[in-house]
Amino acid sequence: MPATDRTVGHAGPVRGFLAGLAAVLVFFTATAGLAGAVGLTLLDPHRAGDVVATALGESDLASRILGRVVPGYTTLDPSTRAAVRGVVRAQPTLDAARRVEFDASTGKVDLQPLRQEVVDALRQAGQPRLAATVAHDERGSVVTVPMKDLNRYRDARELSRRAALLGGLATLVLAGVALLSSRHRLRTGRSVGVAVALAALVVGAAYWLLPGAAQSVGSNDAAKVASALLDLARPRVLVILGSALGVGVLLILTPLIARPFQRARPAPGTSQGS
């Protein structure tokens, strides 16, 4: 047997193994990439308003926010405190809370939209003195996130960004290696599609279980806020995971789509006229 034939004979199994290994690794890189993309969605600094609005619906967290917006909130008499509670639970106040801005570079949270709405609502509710106290609060409307918490947020967002970027690039590279190494590219493409689809399903299942995990780990109010935020982010997360799942399904179905064209192709060494 010529040396060239032996080389070709050994190259076939090696290429097949390489293609199979790359297809398997696609599952892990795609899972990491999708998890990173979901993490970036949840940690979007533009969602700060949603966090504040959701927290206003929970007793403990609402007291902390009101203590910053309304001077001396904890020392108010029960009836006045109840009036303030009624104001912040009204829809216009919640809408204003969603306009609160967070600067991730400095850690500053601007509560001005919420404070202005509270002032206007207190005046309409027959609390002009308290409204004036809130309007002229010397502390201002800007709150700075503690550096320790800000660093944790930045680290989590950076980790998510790297996972999304590197996971996505690695998935593309491995998928290319698998297809270029394989002698049966349609079959390998189907394997890559299965890996991508499974990654989307795994990340989706983990996202579905997150609210329960948050409630079992965190405090009651914090867990409710986390669960509510996961619900708010669900449409964008579904778009991310649905797109990945769609790509995977398309790759899985490609052999079925291409089969009629393969049957119509003339066999090697024959002509259409023979």
Burial 38-76 (b: 16+ CB within 10 A, else e): bbbbbbeeebbbbbbbbbbebeebbeebbebbbeebeeb
Q: How confident is the model at residue 9 (pLDDT cuts 50, 70, 90)?
A: very low
In the predicted model, is pLDDT for residue 172 greater than 80?
Answer: yes
pLDDT of residue 18: 82
Whether the pLDDT of residue 255 is over 80: the answer is no
In the chain, at which residue ranges do the beta strands (DSSP E only) sit?
Answer: 101-103, 108-110, 142-144
Q: Which residue has the tokens 């947020």?
A: 153
- Check pLDDT > 80 for residue 273: no
What is the pTM (predicted TM-score) of this model?
0.79
Using 50, 70 and 90 to split pLDDT, how confident is the model at 78?
A: confident
Q: Per-residue pLDDT averaged across 113-129, rounded?
A: 90
* Residues 99, 121: Cα–Cα separation, whole Å: 16
Q: Name which of 246, 236, 202 is nearest 37 in CA terms.
A: 236
Q: How far is it, in rounded angstroms, from Cα 262 to Cα 270?
A: 15
Can you tell me the distance from the alpha carbon of 213 to that of 249, in angstroms, rounded to the nearest whole number?
A: 30
Q: Which pLDDT does position 60 carry in this prediction?
A: 75
Asked whether residue 4 carries a pLDDT value surpassing 50, the answer given is no
